[in-house]
Chain A
């Protein structure tokens, strides 16, 4: 009998077969040698992973919604069907909305913890910037997704929200009309927000996310300056695999439970269908993560009447965002590995400003 040109592999086990081709043992060894610093603030390391998990949940529930959602003139009707006719449709839709809101929250927590731990310092500047880009995309995800059910609230929130780019002198109205697909929010707006929400934004988001995760992998977890200055003998760490990974999974499980409980007990409402002829309902307000900007604009508008209040507000927002994004470049104290009181206080001030305007916004609805 002739010998087979394809001899049996030396070891017949499935693991060996895969290992020979995919270097599983090598990867496992790599994961075992990777460590995560352990200190008083280690808890905050989990928030990046929680944000990632909620994003995965967004993808999965989003794909499920895509099965029944119809953009354009049918959008309200199709969301009504998902909510009331399709079995467990209310749960899928609520899980999508709740995990979206929790993701925005988790991303904010992750950003502020990175800020206060001074995790933006050399060599992690691009981690900070890619993270901010992801936050910006998450907010656009939120804004575009909010319109899709086309009920009264989402219609007016989008109408008001689009007034902001509209105020940019010169090019503002042209750009806004392009985003809106006409002079008013309508079917054309839903159709293009849908394209943005399910195709354009994911295409932009995923490569930035990969870059962000690659940098985390490359530079490892940042430690705050207070831990950094400890002698090496006093600095503790735990293996990434399985210790940190198991904790990560536990956090993901908690996040899943929180989403499920919220989606079940507080299912997302669907208002009456949007109509260009009905007056704006009282107490109209944006989602909580846009509340501080909305309220700040309102306050500035009261102090400076006319459009100057809005323009002043936009200048202030621009300055705050630039200040926030460029912190790795000017926070010299932290770069030297010392505690930078100034940056810490600036962080607290920013956080306090956001909280103040958010609370004020809800208090004066």
Chain B
């Protein structure tokens, strides 16, 4: 057999085996990826909700705040002294700690690295956070407080 022929066949076989290997690797890898990623996939599905309703009677008094889950995200609902509401995603934009409302200091504080946010707007007041807390739209009617994406 001429040298060229044998080389062609060898190359063909080699690439055939390579292609088959890639097929097997992806056929095994894809289910394993989906299996391992299920909690993230479910969280993403949960995160697609657009609003959360809370009964006003379940909320603590004015000048305090309550934590609730917006899908999978811990979130903060502040009931201001004038009776209005603000709601924010409670995950600090710096390194992901959960922030806390401090009524005595009238601010939102992150204890991890001292980030401070404005309690009305969620804007950064001081500290390392790179951007404001994500804020939600709040509507109170008929004893229901509805928090929705802005």
Which residues from chain A sit less than 8 Å from chain B, CB to CB? 64, 67, 85-89, 91-92, 256
Contact = CB atoms under 8 A, between A and B. Distances in A.
Give the secondary structure class of B's interface.
Answer: helix
Contacts of A67: 35-36
A87 B34 contact: yes
Contacts of B31: 87-88, 91-92
Contacts of A89: 35, 38
B37 interface: yes
B32 A87 contact: no
Interface string B9-31: 00000000000000010000001
B140 interface: no
Contact of B38 (A87, A91, A256): A87
Nearest to B42: A85
Contacts of A88: 31-32, 34-35
Interface residues of B, number: 9
Contacts, number: 26
Interface of B: 24, 31-32, 34-38, 41
7 A-B pairs with least C-beta separation:
A88-B31, A87-B34, A88-B35, A86-B38, A87-B38, A88-B34, A91-B31
A286 B31 CA distance: 31
Residue among A85, A88, A92, A256 facing the most chain B CB atoms (10 A cut-off): A88
5 contacts: A64-B32, A64-B35, A87-B34, A87-B37, A91-B31
A89 B35 CA distance: 6
A314 to B, nearest CB: 43
Contacts of B35: 64, 67, 86-89, 91-92
Contacts of A85: 38
Contacts of B36: 64, 67
Contacts of B37: 87
Contacts of B34: 87-88
A89 B37 CA distance: 11
A3 B31 CA distance: 53
A86 B38 CA distance: 6
B30 to A, nearest CB: 8
A185 to B, nearest CB: 29
B42 to A, nearest CB: 8
